[in-house]
Structure 1
Amino acid sequence: MKANEYFMPTEWRVKGNIQEVYDVCSNFLDYQRWWPEVYLNIRAEGVDEETGNERYALLSRGKLPYKLRWFSSKTHEDAPRTLSLKASGDLAGRGTWRFEQDGEYVNARFDWYVNAEKPLLKRLSWFMKPIFRSNHDWAMRKGLESLNRELERRRTARGGMI
Structure 2
Amino acid sequence: MDRNHYRFRSLWPLPAPPAAVYAVLERPEDYPRWWPQVRSVTRLDDSTGVLTIRSALPYAMTFTARETRRDPAAGVLEIAMSGDIEGWARWTVTAGGPGTLARYDQEVDVRKPLLRRLAVPGRAVFRANHRLMMRAGHRGLVRRLRAV
Q: Which runs of 5+ in 2 are unaligned?
A: none
Runs in 1 of length 4+ with deviation above 6 angstroms? none
CA distance in structure 2 between the partners assigned to 1:103 and 1:5 by the alignment:
33
Alignment of 1:54-69 (within 5 A): 54-69=47-62
| C-alpha RMSD over aligned residues | 1.2
Identical-residue share of aligned pairs (%): 31
96, 102, 108: which one aligns with 1:114: 108
Alignment of 1:20-59 (within 5 A): 20-35=20-35, 37-46=36-45, 54-59=47-52
Bigger CA radius of gyration: 1
What amino acid sits opposite 2:14 in the alignment?
A: V
CA distance in structure 2 between the partners assigned to 1:65 and 1:100 by the alignment:
35
Equivalence for 1:72? 65
TM norm structure 2: 0.94
Q: Which whole-Å deviations, capped at 9, do the CAs of 1:96-155 have from their partners, x for residues lacking one?
A: 11111024221111111011111001111122111101100100000000001100111x
CA distance in structure 2 between the partners assigned to 1:8 and 1:103 by the alignment:
23
118, 127, 139: which one aligns with 1:145: 139
Q: Which runs of 5+ in 1 are unaligned?
A: 47-52, 155-162
Q: Say how many residue pairs are matched.
A: 147
